[in-house]
């Protein structure tokens, strides 16, 4: 069974200490057995005999405890505590995750680069699909992620905040997910984790993860995480009943891979719904990130978009494209637009399964 990444490492110190103790106890038992071979020790009146008996009984109990604990631990983690049956429907519109990186390790078995405040959790995807209005993560600071539609702040990038806190969905239409520090959480639900230990004779540590409604402290869903648990998010659900299965599983479910032309497909759909958003195009032309400027320029190169642009927007796009390709300093917009950008999105790519909420598709 695969082991949750990093969680197993947490028990390394305890395992090392237990090994040393086992060696000491075994050594004491060997000495006791050697003493028991001596005839003068095997006299009931000799206090050494009683000491030998205590050592042997204690050592036997010590080594018997490990298999008993292993059996108890295995039974505990294999049992069905009824989490799935007890889960309630999730009706919230916001979520606070104080420790997103721990949640990623405990549920998914791995985490991505942590400086984005998402740690590999599908934060931006849940907001893009409209499942939630905002998601808050961390404690110092608390970052609030929300979906922005037609917001020039999507293009502020490194000028105003770390670029890692912006997940672009459509550069030409300034649709993105932005994370910003807030003084306190106002989410209606939160995910917490509490350490626990398997009841005696078990001795394994685990962590209980809970999803609660903040206003009433009502428990909505829960799962447990422990070294050796099956990571959630594979092709099949984990076999253990203590792993994610309800609303928490729905939130943690990895999104399908983005198609190669993700932004172009989204922008094509928004173009059909909105027409052209020239303010967002001008903002996109000033984006400090080359990749996002390029997405904006490629969209503005389309044969069905270019005739709709005002001279002011064309001038802004030309300025933004001036240094777009360092190895092509003479590249100019719109004269040098490549053929692929003029065509727009092909029919096969246009049907990709990309969830967009009504507010994004509504002009």
Task: Write down the pLDDT at residue 349.
Answer: 61
Q: What is the DSSP letter of 253?
A: S
Q: 349 near 265, Cβ under 8 Å? A: yes
Q: Angle 179-168-286 (CA atoms, 0-180°, nearest 5)?
A: 100
Q: How far apart are CA 107 and CA 354, in angstroms?
A: 25
Percentages (nearest 5) of helix, strand, coil residues in the chain: 45, 15, 40
| Comparison of pLDDT for 361 and 333, the residue scoring more | 333
Q: How far apart are CA 16 and CA 190, in angstroms?
A: 36
Angle formed by the axes of helices 290-300 and 262-274, nearest 10°: 50
141-173: per-residue pLDDT in tens? 999 999 999 998 999 865 565 656 788 999 999
Q: What is the DSSP string of 153-190?
A: GGGTGGGTS-GGGEEEEETTTTEEEEEEEESS---SEE
Sheet holding 166-170, edge to edge: 166-170, 175-182, 142-148, 134-137, 94-97, 189-197, 205-213, 218-225
233-256: per-residue pLDDT in tens? 877 889 999 999 899 999 998 888
* Strands 166-170 and 175-182, sheet pairing: antiparallel
The whole-number average pLDDT for the span 218-231 is 94
Task: Write down the pLDDT at residue 38.
Answer: 78
Query: CA 103: distance to chain centroid?
Result: 7
Q: What is the pTM of this model?
A: 0.80
For the chain, percent of residues with pLDDT exceeding 90: 52
Q: How far apart are CA 165 and CA 245, in angstroms?
A: 29
């Amino acid at each position: 069974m695969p082991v949750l990444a990093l969680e197993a490492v947490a028990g390394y110190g305890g395992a090392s200490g237990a090994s040393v103790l086992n060696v000491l106890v075994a050594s004491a038992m060997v000495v006791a057995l050697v003493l028991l071979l001596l005839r003068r020790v095997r006299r009931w009146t000799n206090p050494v005999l009683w000491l030998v008996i205590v050592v042997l009984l204690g050592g036997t109990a010590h080594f018997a405890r490990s298999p008993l604990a292993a059996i108890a631990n295995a039974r505990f983690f294999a049992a069905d505590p009824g989490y799935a049956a007890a889960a309630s429907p999730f009706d919230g519109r916001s979520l606070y995750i104080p420790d997103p990186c721990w949640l990623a390790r405990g549920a998914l078995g791995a985490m991505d680069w942590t400086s984005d405040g998402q740690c590999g959790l599908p934060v931006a995807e849940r907001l893009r699909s409209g499942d939630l209005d905002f998601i808050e993560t961390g404690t110092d600071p608390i970052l609030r992620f929300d979906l922005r539609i037609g917001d020039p702040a999507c293009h502020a990038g490194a000028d105003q905040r770390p670029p890692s806190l912006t997940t672009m969905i459509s550069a030409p239409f300034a649709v993105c997910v932005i994370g910003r520090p807030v003084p306190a959480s106002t989410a209606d639900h939160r995910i917490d984790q509490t350490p626990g230990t398997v009841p005696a004779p078990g001795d394994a540590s685990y962590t209980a993860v809970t999803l609660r409604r903040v206003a009433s402290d009502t428990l909505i869903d829960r799962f447990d995480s422990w070294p050796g648990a099956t990571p959630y998010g594979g092709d099949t659900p984990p076999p253990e009943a203590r792993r994610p299965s309800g609303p928490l599983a729905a939130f943690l479910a990895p999104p399908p891979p983005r198609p190669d032309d993700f932004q172009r497909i989204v922008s094509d759909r928004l173009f059909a719904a909105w027409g052209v958003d020239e303010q967002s195009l001008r903002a996109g032309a000033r984006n400090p990130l080359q990749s996002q400027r390029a997405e904006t320029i490629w969209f503005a190169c389309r044969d069905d978009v270019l005739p709709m642009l005002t001279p002011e927007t064309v001038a802004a796009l030309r300025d933004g494209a001036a240094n777009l390709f360092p190895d092509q300093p003479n590249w100019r917009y719109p004269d040098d637009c490549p053929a692929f950008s003029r065509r727009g999105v092909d029919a096969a790519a246009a049907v990709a399964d990309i969830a967009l909420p009504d507010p994004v598709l509504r002009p």
